Structure 1
Amino acid sequence: MSDAVVNGLAGAGGGMVAQIITYPLQTVNTRQQTERKLKAEGNKNLKDGISARSKLPAGTLQQIYQVIIEEGWGGLYSGLMPSMVGTAASQGVYYYFYQIFRTRAEATALRHQKRGTGDGSVGMLSSLLSAALAGCLNVLLTNPIWVVVTRMQTQAQAQKKILEVKGSLKESDSHDIKTLLVDSATKNKLAEPVKLREHGFKGIQPYKTSHAVKDLYNEAGIKGFWKGVVPTLIMVCNPSIQFMIYEGLLQRLKAKRALNKEGLKNVTALEVFILGAIAKLGATVVTYPLLVVKSRLQAKQEIGGNKAMQYTGTFDAIFKMIRYEGLSGFYKGMSTKIVQSVFAAAVLFMIKEELVKAARKLVDNNRKIVSISSFKSK
């Protein structure tokens, strides 16, 4: 089994575990990113005597609790299955091609060393280029999956907005609706379809992967599955920065261990966890605004006739967000994303490295067994 395949499978496995653990945070974060709030609306609320505190977005834990109350535990895992497929595909594709490009970069570095023009190590620029090329291929191949996932994560949000536009969902009904939804989630007899219709609300309707695919195709045809691909391609610099920081820190740690009197030691899983967390933190802070733009484009466009909340493309979204929401609009839900992405990346790196070690050890043991068997047969 080639090193590229081992790294691809290990990356896919690590990514899936990290995805399951952090998915509720990802769902809430996507909803935070796609929530539009015009500056004019905020000013009007203050003029009307409404406290700013009451209109600020709820904290992450409060939002998680709200989703559980209104939609049940399943609401936190909307789109989990396509997300798992997307994670496995993305991590597998990314690590597979990254290892291929990395191997070629290492071979090139060795050739330069033989010619006396280098020390044989892969430079930061080569590492960055390898990560960028792998990231571009990953984005182009897997973007349709992530558009579907975003739609499923924000569908309940879209349903509520449709009701608000129709005037069916009123502030006075919010408590009753929440109660009915809780009853519906627990299958209580009080939550009968007739009573739900009396409130103009049928509850959070089941939204399957097939529904999201159909809606996307009806809206924009095949090209709809590549919504947000431009900011996503630009965001390729995120894993590039992440891997550049990670590998730089890893090399420094190994160099420090090599100088230690005890000799070179293997990097532990905890150390990989910490290095992965630091690397992802740095990359997330730099590229978060692009992630918000991507989510806005992939989610269902704002319901109603307000053109300020509807985007025709990447640059249209950027200009409208700056004009109507201010720079703060690009950082909605950033604290949630930092917690989710840093923890997910740290888990991914840790599991991936352990799986790669286990796979290589298994291959080495098999080779030894084959060698011993061959020797005995002679």
Structure 2
Amino acid sequence: METEVAKWRWENMAAGAIAGFTAVVSLHPLDVVRTRFQVNDGRSKASPNVHVYKNTTHALYTIARMEGLRGLYAGFCPAVIGSTVSWGLYFFFYNQAKQRYMKGDVVQLSPALHMVSAAEAGSLVCLCTNPIWVVKLRLQLQSSSYQIRKYSGFADTFKTIVKEEGVSALYKGIGPGLLLVSHGAIQFTAYEEFRLMTLRFKKGKYHVNEVDDKKILNSVDYAALGAMSKVTAILLTYPYQVIRARLQVDDFVCFQQRPGADGISKYRDSWHVVKETARFEGLPGFYRGITSNMLKNIPSASIAFVVYENVLKFFKSRRT
């Protein structure tokens, strides 16, 4: 029995890793666009060295024209590594937590315990992967647009950051990153609740009883559930992503020079980012890049959950 449980946990991890890999490979250019929108605080318009994109389509066109395919897939290596590791670990820790909370006669966890399980998994994943996301952001902003080309790849970026800025630089943005644990918690809780609602509806409509839930739901259901849960999480937590991105690239991206400054926007901490963003950009500043974020992450979540659920079905069929 213990061997079966252990195998099930590793199958969840493998399915999550495959899902994360598939999602990032499909939609990486939109992630590049989102990152560039997030870190552009609107004060760079006076600088001829920084492109100001009108919208997502214009950004994709400009990057492709100015930087080619390499620009659209900037930071691809750490993105693949980060997403594969993150999704794999997330599903592993998440399902471990759920099993731990399902004690006694508990058959179905409450929304609160689903959220606690997801938050626990998200915190552990955040601590493990923050350095990968810092490297990814630096590489995504390494372009002619910012007159930055100091890194030659994933390993070089990692080594250069540690050498020039210290190990602590790899954990820049960890504060809002941990707050973003709420994103995953909301997404997975919403997914579980939407999934239960869909199951109840289908069982009632087709008068299905005592049937494996995975036989009732199909890929279209999983795609819709993944999309709905992602929209819910994005709308509630997106400002944290902007704050984290700006902290992670601080001392790296050149913005408009201000009186008494050295031409580089420097944020002291998360609260300073909040105050500066509110002061110069207002509420829209906290939602920069949300269009490209939605265009990338909604289909990405759909793809990830479809792949995850179907890979699990495959593993289960191999065992029976």
Q: TM range, normalised to the smaller chain?
A: 0.7 to 0.9
Cα-to-partner distance string for 1:203-243 (whole Å, 9 max, x where unaligned): x6773123322342244200000011100100101111111
Where structure 1 has 5 or more consecutive residues not aligned to the other structure, the ranges are: 45-54, 114-118, 163-203, 365-378
Distance in 1, matches of 2:284 and 2:278, equals: 9
> Residue 125 of structure 2 aligns with which residue?
138
* C-alpha spacing 1:73/1:252, structure 2 compared with 1 (3 Å): same
Q: 2:187 corresponds to which residue?
A: 242
- Secondary structure of the corresponding residue to residue 319 of structure 2: helix
Provide the alpha-carbon RMSD of the alignment. 2.3
**Residue in 1 that maps onto 2:280:** 324
Decide whether the 8 Å contact of 2:250 with 2:265 is kept in 1.
no
Cα deviation for residue 37 of structure 1 reads 1.3
Work out the CA distance in 2 between the residues paired with 1:158 and 1:148.
18
Instruction: Give 1:303's aligned residue.
Output: 254
Which residue of 2 is the match for residue 337 of structure 1?
293
Equivalent pair of 2:139/2:151 in contact (CA under 8 Å): no
Aligned partners of 1:3 and 1:99 also within 8 Å: no
**Between the two proteins, what is the percent identity of the paired residues?**
28
Please give the alpha-carbon distance, in whole angstroms, between the structure 2 residues aligned to 1:327 and 1:207: 36
Counterpart in the other structure of 1:13: 18
| Structure-2 separation of matches of 1:205 and 1:143 | 21
8 Å CA contact 2:242, 2:288 repeated in 1:
yes
Distance in 2, Cα, partners of 1:157 & 1:140: 32
Counterpart CA distance in 2 for 1:261 and 1:223 is 56
Structure 1 position 253 matched with structure 2 position 198? yes
- What is the SS of the residue equivalent to 2:143? helix
Q: Distance in 1 between matches of 2:90 and 2:151?
A: 32
Secondary structure of the residue aligned to 1:360 is: helix
- 1:1-378 to structure 2, matched below 5 A, reads 2-38=7-43, 57-106=53-102, 108=103, 111=104, 113=105, 120-156=107-143, 159-160=146-147, 207-264=152-209, 265-301=215-251, 302-303=253-254, 306=258, 307=261, 309-364=265-320
Q: Contact between 2:243 and 2:270, CA under 8 Å: does it hold in 1?
A: yes
Q: With structure 1 as the length reference, what TM-score do the two structures score?
A: 0.75
Q: Does the C-alpha gap of structure 1 residues 157 and 237 become closer, same or farther in structure 2, counting only changes over 3 Å?
A: farther
| Distance in 2 of aligned mates of 1:141 and 1:10 | 19
